Amino acid sequence: MSTFGKVFRVTTYGESHCKSVGCIIDGVPPGLSLTEEDIQVQLTRRRPGQSNLTTPRNEKDRVAIESGCEFGYTLGTPICLTVQNQDQRPHDYSETDFYPRPSHADWTYLKKYGVKASSGGGRSSARETIGRVAGGAVAEKYLTEVYGVEIVAFVSSVGEIDMPTSSEGMSGEAFQKLLATITREQVDQNTVRCPDQETADRMQEEILACSSEKNSTGGIVTCVIRNAPVGLGEPCFDKLEAMLAHAMLSIPATKGFEVGSGFSGTRLKGSEHNDAFEADASGSLRTKTNHSGGIQGGISNGESIYFRVAFKPPATISQDQQTATYAGQDGILAARGRHDPCVVPRAVPIVETMAALTIMDAVMQQNARSATSAKLKPVPAELKGIKPV
């Protein structure tokens, strides 16, 4: 469906070439200071036409708060956020009346609904993510103010080009140091959004080469969530990593997700992979290492949460492609339109805001449980299952 979240709920609307796109957010706490500029920052990072590495579609993506706020504060009622589509060119897609684009959603949407959007990708278009980014920016505002949560994503690979620290896996020492200190300002110092400038230069060359060849390439976005509260997530079906995977794999063009040590962790022995505990300065516990990626038993443990999201090469390319018409006749599709040769530079704020939506929803669920439990008498010590050594 088009709604994400259980308590903090975001419903997105709109297609690639309709009049507007946006979202309705339900569950925003009342009293949060919120302006359009708070939301605009992430939308501007996501918008097309930022550089020669992205689609030339020229959209300003200016957001308007239509409801749910007065005098700069949220009312606790549904917030409607809209962004006008201004640079539509639906005539660029007339060939898709005859051909389903290879690896795009044209064919599957038609089989599912019996109709499809006549221009662009309809709901499968990346324009749909505007509503996600807008809603996630609101969630992040609350998380930052109340908990000091920091969410930073960056491009760690394009095609076969990887950051040097990626070679030893996400739980490697060098990569962990990067995750502990990386900032959005560092990420945005180049248009690729890779914090290693030498690697970013090589990535840019690869993307530009694909563009000149009317081709595309994929990549990986890495994300870290710092200062997330302890206790987020559920033990079984709604484990925090499962909800993050749900969020990330709902983003267009995603094909893979790994959290913590991920797939490289399968090469370790248990004695190497286990995160031993130690006392912190406050007398509580923390882990000496973080192969778990900040989540154990499906529940956040207070350490940094980190994960990677794989994006495929964009399906729409301008090369002639031997394929078949809807009628099954062999033919050549010469796709037009304006498309990214690589989506990962613009996917960075989408990953960040989907992470914010996931954490915000988990926070509100946990706070509801904690507030309800606090009304009861204290649990006897023997029921907590803790005994002194």
Smallest CA-to-CA distance from 151 within 265, 30, 244 is with 244
For residue 212, give both structure tokens: 């000149």
Q: Is 17 a catalytic residue?
A: yes
Alpha carbon distance 75, 110 (integer Å): 40
Alpha carbon distance 307, 313 (integer Å): 20
| Interior angle at CA 193, CA 34 and CA 196, nearest 5 | 130
3-state helix, strand, coil in the chain (%, to 5): 35, 20, 45
Alpha carbon distance 69, 32 (integer Å): 9
Residue of 61, 162, 196, 340 with catalytic role: 340
Q: Is 339 a catalytic residue?
A: no
CB 318 within 8 A of CB 214: yes
Burial of 342 (0-12, 13-18, 19+ CB in 10 A): buried
Q: Is 104 a catalytic residue?
A: yes
In one-letter notation, the amino acid at residue 290 is N
Alpha carbon distance 62, 82 (integer Å): 8
CA quadruple 158, 164, 166, 168: dihedral positive or negative? positive
Question: Residue 81, Cβ neighbours under 10 Å: how many?
Answer: 27
Tell me the C-alpha to C-alpha distance, in Å, between residue 69 and each of 83, 132, 187, 212, 309: 17, 19, 32, 46, 34
Sheet architecture: strand order including 79-84: 3-4, 9-13, 20-26, 79-84, 63-65
Secondary structure (DSSP) of 256-273 = EEEETTGGGGGGS-HHHH
Alpha carbon distance 204, 197 (integer Å): 10
Secondary structure (DSSP) of 171-206 = TSHHHHHHHHH--HHHHTTSTT--SSHHHHHHHHHH
Residue of 104, 162, 196, 339 with catalytic role: 104
Question: Residue 3, Cβ neighbours under 10 Å: how many?
Answer: 12
User: Catalytic residues, which ones?
Assistant: 17, 104, 340
